[in-house]
């Protein structure tokens, strides 16, 4: 194992898409940002220097950060932001993970342009549990706004209305030829016939779950959130913001100089406006014998069939197929017993307007999002600092409720809107507590799926269903043998999900909806895991360059 050094300069950078030029925040002038490549077991040092006026903080999404919580990155949770002119060196070791993850800014909406792939290769002299691919290609999905995304979220927070939607989806930063003024901004994957390619899919979009498909080709899913799964073949991939999925693409034997569209479109069931557009990239077969420059044929190319926007059954069927590999070499260490159970409702509300506020949400209200009806407010000092030094007073409280403040009934009348409260609340867990958490979509404003992401842990998705979770009947159907292990899961639209994880990582860990707008509205909470008794079960003190508020 080695130490890998990266330097990430946060700089402004002009980017033109859809005939519109704007200045974005970038890492090293790249959009999407640079790849971080390491092997399992390596130590990674990323020196981040902030050259822009904004406060910045970076998160290594899905990296477990075992006893390195100071480097997890969410602003005001594990660190104060890196201010203009400041430097912070993230320092973590990749333990027990291999596959695809991604890094992104974790403050306000800066992740719309500050993101890039994390590629974790197996250890030297270890191989994949599938055929060695001929080539590996990151495919990163994003959203493009012609306007500044900070203005988009600030306006939503000020008015209480939904934010403007993006102007395009992107594949590797490019919207593709189906948008106006965009045909030159098309990602093209050049392939050779009869080879296997590993596509590392990353959904870095802000607010949309996506379907992805390639015309005339099936894909074999081999990995989710940097954990191997039992391979299965499908025509359509479902990927929520925060999820990563590795798929094998086998190219056909003899198709020289032909091209196919690969496209992504949104899955959406909620209320409000959304970007219902389609991004396209091109899969192009090179002629293996010719050395001449590739000719991409004129449009139209064959398009894949993507599911309709509200195709919940496609999403359900896809997620049901994801199972841990659960082999002797890669076992699924599912907690078989549970020490603590939690039932969290997640969803949107409209809340009444305070006098003298502007509320341009539905019927003069304001949108809010909550977990167990608590809408999370960010503290002004990082929670991990306050926790570590025993100074939580005035920063956060440890009384996050284990259940919602009402008996939840999906089919009954929705609970009163006034039950939403603001707070900075955490659940405190003893070291090595085995946790079972039911996440129930409240569907109070129309059923909507929520991609819930947990920092600091992988969890096992032991069950999912529609309607009300039934604590008597549903647990008997839980899969405790080979459930998928991941860090982000879509709570089904109008349904529930059951997850289990072992709280073996001391620190303060955010859990939130990876729809950025829902996070901004408060759909987040924090877990605090206490130190264990042994020296290697404790969080070390913070580094000397930890940014201060």
Which residues contact ligand C2O (rule: CB under 6 A)? 59, 61, 74, 104, 106, 242, 453, 455, 510, 512, 514
Question: Least separation, in Å, of the C-beta of 390 and ligand C2O?
Answer: 25
Which residue number places its CB atom closest to ligand C2O? 61
Question: Least separation, in Å, of the C-beta of 153 and ligand C2O?
Answer: 15
Question: Least separation, in Å, of the C-beta of 58 and ligand C2O?
Answer: 11
Question: Least separation, in Å, of the C-beta of 59 and ligand C2O?
Answer: 5
CB nearer to ligand C2O: give 376 or 408: 376
Dist CA 242 CA 489 (whole Å): 9
Q: Name the residue among 118, 107, 175 with its Cα closest to residue 143.
A: 175
Dist CA 86 CA 107 (whole Å): 16
Dist CA 398 CA 426 (whole Å): 5
Question: For the CA atoms of the chain, what is the radius of gyration?
Answer: 23
Question: Least separation, in Å, of the C-beta of 455 and ligand C2O?
Answer: 6
Q: In the numeric block, which tokens belong to residue 111?
A: 């992740």
The answer to whether the CB of 67 falls within 8 A of the CB of 505 is yes
Name residues whose C-beta falls within 8 Å of residue 394's C-beta, 6 or more positions apart in sequence: none
CB nearer to ligand C2O: give 98 or 106: 106
Dist CA 456 CA 327 (whole Å): 24
CB nearer to ligand C2O: give 67 or 453: 453
Question: Least separation, in Å, of the C-beta of 264 and ligand C2O?
Answer: 19
Question: Least separation, in Å, of the C-beta of 222 and ligand C2O?
Answer: 22
CB nearer to ligand C2O: give 255 or 369: 369
Q: Is the dihedral of CA 39, 42, 46, 47 positive or negative?
A: negative
Reduced to 3 states, what is the DSSP secondary structure of residue 507? strand
DSSP 8-state symbol, 330: S
Dist CA 221 CA 244 (whole Å): 11
Q: In the numeric block, which tokens belong to residue 510?
A: 């955010």
CB nearer to ligand C2O: give 114 or 191: 114
CB nearer to ligand C2O: give 24 or 511: 511
CB nearer to ligand C2O: give 42 or 516: 516
Question: Least separation, in Å, of the C-beta of 193 and ligand C2O?
Answer: 37
Residue with tokens 């191989």: 127
Integer angstrom CA distances of residue 509 from 101, 326, 524: 18, 27, 10
CB nearer to ligand C2O: give 102 or 260: 102
Residue 313's Cβ-count burial label (10 Å; 0-12, 13-18, 19+) is exposed
Question: Least separation, in Å, of the C-beta of 204 and ligand C2O?
Answer: 9
Question: Least separation, in Å, of the C-beta of 509 and ligand C2O?
Answer: 9
Name residues whose C-beta falls within 8 Å of residue 146's C-beta, 6 or more positions apart in sequence: 17, 18, 20, 22, 167
Cα 446–148–118 angle (5° rounding)? 80
**Strand (E) or helix (H) holding 153:** helix 149-159
CB nearer to ligand C2O: give 106 or 349: 106
CB nearer to ligand C2O: give 219 or 510: 510
Q: Name the residue among 293, 531, 294 with its Cα closest to residue 390.
A: 531
Reduced to 3 states, what is the DSSP secondary structure of residue 149? helix
CB nearer to ligand C2O: give 104 or 349: 104
**Strand (E) or helix (H) holding 316:** helix 312-321
Question: Least separation, in Å, of the C-beta of 74 and ligand C2O?
Answer: 5
């Amino acid at each position: 194992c080695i130490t890998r050094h990266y330097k990430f300069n946060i700089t402004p950078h002009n980017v033109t898409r859809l005939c519109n030029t704007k200045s974005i925040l970038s890492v090293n002038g790249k959009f999407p940002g640079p790849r971080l490549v390491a092997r399992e077991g390596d130590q990674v040092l990323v020196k981040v220097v902030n050259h822009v006026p904004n406060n910045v903080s970076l998160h290594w999404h899905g990296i477990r950060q075992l006893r390195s919580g100071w480097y997890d990155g969410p602003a005001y949770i594990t660190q104060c932001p890196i201010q203009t002119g400041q430097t912070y060196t993230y320092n973590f070791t990749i333990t027990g993970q291999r596959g695809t993850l991604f890094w992104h800014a974790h403050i306000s909406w800066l992740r719309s342009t500050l993101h890039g792939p994390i590629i974790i290769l197996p250890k030297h002299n270890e191989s994949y549990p599938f055929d060695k691919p001929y080539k590996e290609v990151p495919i990163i999905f994003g959203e493009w706004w012609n306007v500044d995304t900070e203005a988009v979220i600030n306006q939503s927070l000020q008015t209480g209305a939904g934010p403007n939607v993006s102007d395009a989806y992107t594949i590797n930063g490019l919207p593709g030829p189906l948008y106006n003024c965009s045909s030159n901004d098309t990602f093209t994957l050049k392939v050779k016939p009869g080879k296997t390619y590993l596509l590392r899919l990353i959904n870095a979009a802000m607010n949309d779950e996506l379907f992805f498909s390639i015309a005339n080709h099936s894909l074999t899913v081999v990995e989710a959130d940097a954990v191997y799964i039992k391979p299965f073949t499908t025509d359509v991939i479902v990927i929520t913001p925060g999820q990563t999925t590795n798929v094998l693409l086998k190219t056909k034997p003899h198709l020289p100089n032909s091209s196919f569209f690969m496209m992504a479109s949104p899955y959406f069931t909620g209320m409000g406006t959304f970007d219902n557009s389609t991004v396209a990239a091109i899969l192009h077969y090179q002629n293996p014998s010719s050395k001449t420059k590739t000719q991409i044929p004129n449009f139209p190319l064959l398009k894949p069939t993507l599911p309709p926007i509200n195709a919940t059954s496609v999403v359900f069927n896809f997620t049901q197929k994801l199972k841990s590999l659960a082999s002797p070499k890669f076992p699924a260490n599912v907690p078989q017993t549970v020490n603590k159970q939690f039932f969290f409702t997640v969803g949107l509300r409209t809340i009444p307007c305070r006098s003298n506020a502007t509320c341009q949400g539905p019927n003069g209200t304001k949108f809010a999002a909550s977990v167990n009806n608590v809408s999370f407010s960010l503290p002004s000092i990082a929670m991990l600092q306050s926790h570590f030094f025993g100074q939580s007073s005035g920063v956060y409280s440890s009384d996050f409720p284990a259940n919602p403040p009402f008996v939840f009934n999906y089919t009954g009348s929705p609970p009163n809107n006034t039950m939403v409260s603001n707070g900075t609340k955490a659940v405190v867990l003893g070291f090595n507590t085995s946790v079972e958490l039911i996440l129930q979509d409240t569907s109070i404003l129309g059923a909507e799926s929520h991609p819930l992401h947990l920092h600091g842990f992988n969890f096992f998705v032991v069950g999912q269903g529609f309607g009300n979770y039934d604590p008597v009947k549903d647990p008997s159907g839980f899969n405790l043998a080979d459930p998928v292990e991941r860090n982000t899961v879509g709570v089904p639209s109008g349904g529930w999900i059951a997850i289990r994880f072992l709280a073996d990582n001391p620190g303060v860990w955010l859990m939130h909806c990876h729809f950025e707008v829902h996070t901004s509205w408060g759909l987040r909470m924090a877990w605090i895991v206490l130190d264990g008794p042994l020296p290697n079960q404790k969080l070390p003190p913070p580094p000397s360059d930890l940014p201060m508020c």
